[in-house]
Amino acid sequence: MTPSPARRGELLGVAAEVFAAQGYNATTVRKIADEAGMLAGSLYYHFDSKEGILDEILSSFLDELWQGYDEVLAAGLGPRETIEALVTESFREIDRHRAAVAIYQKESRHLAQQERFAYLVESQQKFEKAWLGTLERGVAAQVFRSDLDIRLTYRFVRDTVWVAASWYRPGGQHSPEEIARQYLSMVLDGIAVRI
């Protein structure tokens, strides 16, 4: 009567991969089932809806993300070190949950309007608070430039990191930590040669 968690896990992985590749709306439940070697109807033994699958993918990704973030934020680091740690943690998440991150990027904005996905909004607010707060701390501490619009800077840093999920392929030549290092170098010090 109760579906095995192991099989669920596999199926969630398959679904995430397909959602990421084709988009949630464009993905049919039959495509997922095909990929999993079963018939469309059979998925409903494990999940109660297509939306439910998406929900589980996104929420379990965010749970894990926040576990990492909360640890960083609780560590009492300086603003620059916090940013560095958050960026590094983010690239690690992209490495581990590439599909989920890609789905999140593409779908979260319009999903957020639905009751069921209200947690996306919450998460985004918490996210903004963490990053914006750290940047503000950094400006106050004269670690970050004060001549920039702070919200623009926030968006810049945020987008800069997460869009990477759209091209990142796990197992490539750069480790997440290496990519994080280079991104941080660009974001913090710029791409121009210092005179």
> Residues 32-71 vs DNA: string with x where CB under 7 A?
-x----xxxxx-xxx-xxxx--------------------
Task: Return the residues of window 21-40 that contact its own copies according to CB under 8 A.
Answer: 21-23, 25-26
Per the structure block, which two tokens stand in for 137? 């701390």
Torsion of CA 177, 179, 184, 190, to 10 degrees: 160
CA distances from 68 to 63, 100, 109, 153 (A): 9, 16, 23, 23
Residues contacting 119, CB < 8 A, separation 6+: 59, 62
> Does residue 22 touch DNA according to CB under 7 A?
no
Q: Choose between 9 and 172: whose C-beta lies nearer to DNA.
A: 9
Distance of CA 173 to the CA centre of its chain: 21
Give least dist CB 58 to DNA, A: 16
Measuring CA to CA, which residue among 182, 131, 173 is closest to residue 152? 131
Task: Return the residues of window 108-137 that contact its own copies according to CB under 8 A.
Answer: 109-110
> Residues 126-165 vs DNA: string with x where CB under 7 A?
----------------------------------------
Q: Which stretch binds its own copies (CB under 8 A): 9-17, 57-65, 121-129, 177-185?
A: 177-185
